[in-house]
Structure 1
Amino acid sequence: MIGNSATGMWQDRSFRLFLGADAISQFGTQITIVALPLVAVLTLEASPFQLGVLTAAEMAAFLLVGLPAGVWVDRMRRRPILIWSDLLRGAVLLSVPVAVALDVMTLPHLYAVALLLGLGTVFFDVAHMSFLPSLVGKDDLLRGNGTLETLRNTAMLSGPALGGWLVHAVTAPVALLADAISYLVSALMLGGVRAEETTAPVAERRRLAEEIGEGVRYVAGHPVLRRIAMVGALTMLSNGIWAIAQPLFLIKTLHVSPAVYGLLLSGGAVGSLIGAVLASRVAARFGAGRAMYGGAAVAATVILVSPLAAEGRQLALFPLGCLLNGIGAAVFSINQLSYRQKITPAHLLGRMNASMRFLMWGAAPIGGLVGGVLGGWFGAHAIMWVAAVGVTAAHLPVLSSRRILRL
């Protein structure tokens, strides 16, 4: 395990490889965020409802295997899970340009890609959050998470713009090749990471349902974790609607090009990068609880700026709202993640993270389907407002808690 100083973290080769692998795969992921829905919209001419099904398919794994994933992550060494998850995601993304080249690309194929991509993401995310304490001490979790978030948002800053440019230059299916390669490189780098991991003895394992229940009860019974989970679930529900409205609003309603579309999406990344840099400083000055509260307050209000965007100069309001929201969301997210990693016993980390992911991200496919249905009834601009107001309301469980302010 790495020492308690930031210098010690960066001097450790395994930590550097871990960060490098994460940065590379996150960079590729941002390209997929742009390219995958554009494969549906531009290549397969998907309807709003079909786009909603695609979003739901990518997030469905959080509902289907989110809770069991936590048990398996606690039972097994986490590094191999990270590697195999990357290999799975790289392989399924490679199938898209191959199918296009063979002229056999279909929406069901794209749904299957989204579902398997989500499956790999579930296991990777739960293992990733649970593996970090094996690399850094609990006192360095805030710094470690802040560093990861900074690198992730650096990738987010340029990834969407590059993704939009690649879609414009070589089409959306071929652009996915870049993400496939990034996952394969990430897997290779993770292979060089060394960390001490302890797994529960086989004799101590209980039935799957019992171990799942222990993780869920831990989250549901903790007053702060319970509120954080509520915020996450309601936010992801709104984000699922947002994912449908965003490409339709910007490309179909405001008529921006794929290259400009990717550039506009970078606004949120700029904000998240700023928030990641500020997160530990805000917590050091005001405390983790006030940092969470303040981040949630900012994220809840400024998102209402983005739906005010229109053609011309007013288009700048879209990335501006996303930028400001990204600052608040990152401060909140980094501090809540570090808090829950710090207070949770090591043997429960996988199940705690899986329970949180299940409760939070499990709402996203529902949001995607709701967004698809709404897209068939209303215009994209109206759906943008529904999503934005939903994000605002989502933060009320934290903003109404005095306990969080006292942390």
Structure 2
Amino acid sequence: MRAPRLAAPTLWHHPNFLKLWIGQSVSQFGNQFTGIALQFLAVKALLASPAQVGLLAALGTFPFLFIGLFVGVWVDRHPRRPILIAGDVGRGLIVAAIAGLTFFGVVRLEYLYVLAFATGVLTVFFDVSYQAYLPALVPRGQIMEGNSKLEATNTTAQVAGPVLAGLFVEAAGYALPMATDGLTFFFSAGLMARIRKEERTPAPSERKSVMAEIRDGLRIVFGDRRLWSIAGCTGTANFFSGALFALFSIYAIRSLGLNAFWIGVIGGVGGIGGILGAFTANRLANRIGVGHAIIVAILVGAVSSFGILLATPGLAFAFLTAMGFGGALGTLWYNINQVSLRQSLVPVRLQGRLNATMRFLVWGTLPIGNLVGGGLGEVIGVYPALVIAVVGGLLAVPWVFFSPVRELKTIPPPAED
């Protein structure tokens, strides 16, 4: 008689992962509150120009250019969990400070610039540590399951969060939604403080110089055509997305006449595409192959952006919702598959350097796109600048279409440490 076959363990029974998952889901929910409140604070209350909105957006991601590579080396030399906790606490305090300045009526764009840059610095440390932490927290064979669960719940927060945020902003102004976001950062930090998993960090005798380790990170990416093709694709997409982001709120609020509630509803309905993407990314890769899934994903995201060019005051909701739905669907398909691919190609001990190098290359284009988009909006007008940003997004596709990524059928076996 055959022994009963045991079901494979899942991350539902992994208490440490569940703490990370729940904390990040709540924090991502809160982020939607600040996202909408800050857009309307800058565009409606402070009357920011396209160039000023572009600068505000750029300052949040400039730190990836300035310190991203060094942070990757530093993260690989230290336990990641304390860095994650400090990043959440620090960002919670900054968001609370913005809420306080807004509540007392003394907020200015110059203050937002400084606080956006400070938040960006903490986000570099957090994000590099976060992507390097998951492969060390869960078994290598469950990395894709972990990424799918994290992305699914984050996207769920993006569905409900914007709608509630829009109502919140319309009913209570800008300060209270941002203060609520600050509390979610503290909640996430508290849960991560309860994770019990020993992390291995290299002994001082095993370490190289900082510059040598930065070169290692660059060598990892540029030594594997699959990795630098992904970097080129993501960097190009982020450049044009950054330009689009700098112009979106001004166009939606001033030209299309949308208020905070409708912006929130558009974000929420569009986020449903992200949920669908998170739950179907693995199935898509199994059906058409990982490489083809990555190509289809980036193409879907790029084509969806054309919705903003077709939007008119009477049809804004329909076209912007379609844009959000398709964009989130493509983004989740793309992120889950390409991040899982990256995490499998490189050993755990090098994940920090890999992620920092990738963040430097792909997020470094985002602030440049913000500045270019805002500058173009100032010089040639918001709509012509939007046309350039949307059409330019298609240039991300050739990076992966004409690369070995296209030939990948499955995620390769995990690299050995």
With the shorter chain as reference, the TM-score category is over 0.9
1:147-186 matches, within 5 Å, as 147-186=149-188
Q: Hey, what's the Cα distance between the residues in 2 that align with 1:91 and 1:197?
A: 27
Q: Hey, what's the Cα distance between the residues in 2 that align with 1:360 and 1:204?
A: 29
Q: Which deviates more, 382-391 or 155-164?
A: 382-391
8 Å CA contact 1:74–1:348 kept in 2: the answer is yes
8 Å CA contact 1:293–1:398 kept in 2: the answer is yes
Distance 1:224 1:301, change over 3 A: same
Which segments of 5 or more consecutive residues in structure 1 lack a partner in the other structure?
none
Partner residue, 1:390: 392
Q: Hey, what's the Cα distance between the residues in 2 that align with 1:280 and 1:57?
A: 35
8 Å CA contact 1:236–1:364 kept in 2: the answer is yes
Distance 1:114 1:8, change over 3 A: same
Partner residue, 2:256: 254
8 Å CA contact 2:270–2:325 kept in 1: the answer is yes
Q: Secondary structure at the match of 2:110?
A: helix
Shift in Å, 1:402? 5.0
Q: Secondary structure at the match of 1:312?
A: coil
Q: Hey, what's the Cα distance between the residues in 2 that align with 1:216 and 1:250?
A: 39
Partner residue, 1:188: 190
Letter in 2 for 1:357: R
Task: Give the alignment partner of residue 278 of structure 1, picking from 277, 280, 298.
Answer: 280
Shift in Å, 1:5? 7.0
Q: Hey, what's the Cα distance between the residues in 1 that align with 2:88 and 2:164?
A: 21
Shift in Å, 1:403? 4.3
Task: Give the alignment partner of residue 95 of structure 2, picking from 93, 96, 99.
Answer: 93
8 Å CA contact 2:41–2:174 kept in 1: the answer is yes
Shift in Å, 1:53? 1.0
Shift in Å, 1:242? 1.3
8 Å CA contact 1:253–1:380 kept in 2: the answer is no
Distance 1:87 1:81, change over 3 A: same
Say whether 1:315 aligns with 2:312.
no
Q: Secondary structure at the match of 1:134?
A: helix
Say whether 1:67 aligns with 2:69.
yes
The TM-score, its normalising length taken from structure 1, stands at 0.95
- Partner deviation per Cα, 1:30-72 (whole Å, 9 max, x = no partner): 2222222322112222121111110111111111111111111
Partner residue, 1:200: 202
Q: Secondary structure at the match of 1:140?
A: helix
Partner residue, 2:414: none
Q: Hey, what's the Cα distance between the residues in 1 that align with 2:268 and 2:9?
A: 30
Letter in 1 for 2:194: G
Task: Give the alignment partner of residue 373 of structure 1, picking from 372, 375, 378.
Answer: 375
1:22-41 matches, within 5 Å, as 22-41=24-43
Distance 1:295 1:6, change over 3 A: farther
The TM-score, its normalising length taken from structure 2, stands at 0.93
1:264-303 matches, within 5 Å, as 264-303=266-305
Partner residue, 1:115: 117
- Partner deviation per Cα, 1:259-289 (whole Å, 9 max, x = no partner): 1112112244221111111001112233322
Q: Secondary structure at the match of 1:395?
A: helix
Q: Hey, what's the Cα distance between the residues in 2 that align with 1:45 and 1:320?
A: 28
Shift in Å, 1:236? 1.2
8 Å CA contact 1:293–1:405 kept in 2: the answer is no
- Partner deviation per Cα, 1:322-373 (whole Å, 9 max, x = no partner): 2112212211110000011011011110010111111111111111111111
Q: Secondary structure at the match of 2:305?
A: helix
Task: Give the alignment partner of residue 84 of structure 2, picking from 78, 82, 86.
Answer: 82
Shift in Å, 1:135? 2.0
Partner residue, 1:209: 211
Q: Hey, what's the Cα distance between the residues in 2 that align with 1:201 and 1:24?
A: 35
Q: Hey, what's the Cα distance between the residues in 1 that align with 2:197 and 2:136?
A: 6
- Partner deviation per Cα, 1:8-37 (whole Å, 9 max, x = no partner): 311121111110011011111122222223
Q: Which deviates more, 4-13 or 170-179?
A: 4-13
Q: Hey, what's the Cα distance between the residues in 2 that align with 1:370 and 1:102?
A: 33
Shift in Å, 1:119? 1.3
8 Å CA contact 2:298–2:396 kept in 1: the answer is no
- Partner deviation per Cα, 1:293-338 (whole Å, 9 max, x = no partner): 2222322323323321111135311110221122122111100000
Q: Hey, what's the Cα distance between the residues in 2 that align with 1:302 and 1:71?
A: 37
Q: Which deviates more, 70-79 or 157-166?
A: 157-166
Q: Hey, what's the Cα distance between the residues in 2 that align with 1:216 and 1:188?
A: 34
Q: Secondary structure at the match of 1:45?
A: coil
Q: Secondary structure at the match of 2:197?
A: coil
- Partner deviation per Cα, 1:98-146 (whole Å, 9 max, x = no partner): 2233433121110111111111111111111111112211111111101
Q: Hey, what's the Cα distance between the residues in 2 that align with 1:123 and 1:5?
A: 37
8 Å CA contact 2:103–2:175 kept in 1: the answer is no
Q: Secondary structure at the match of 1:193?
A: coil
Letter in 2 for 1:292: I
Q: Hey, what's the Cα distance between the residues in 1 that align with 2:350 and 2:9?
A: 29
Letter in 2 for 1:287: G
RMSD of aligned residue pairs (Cα, Å): 1.7
- Partner deviation per Cα, 1:168-215 (whole Å, 9 max, x = no partner): 112223321111111011000111112231101111222211111110
Q: Which deviates more, 266-275 or 79-88?
A: 266-275
8 Å CA contact 1:231–1:394 kept in 2: the answer is yes
- Partner deviation per Cα, 1:51-99 (whole Å, 9 max, x = no partner): 1110111111111111111111100000101000000100011111222
8 Å CA contact 2:58–2:368 kept in 1: the answer is yes
Letter in 2 for 1:211: E
Task: Give the alignment partner of residue 18 of structure 1, picking from 17, 20, 29.
Answer: 20
Letter in 1 for 2:169: V
Q: Secondary structure at the match of 2:306?
A: helix
Partner residue, 1:141: 143
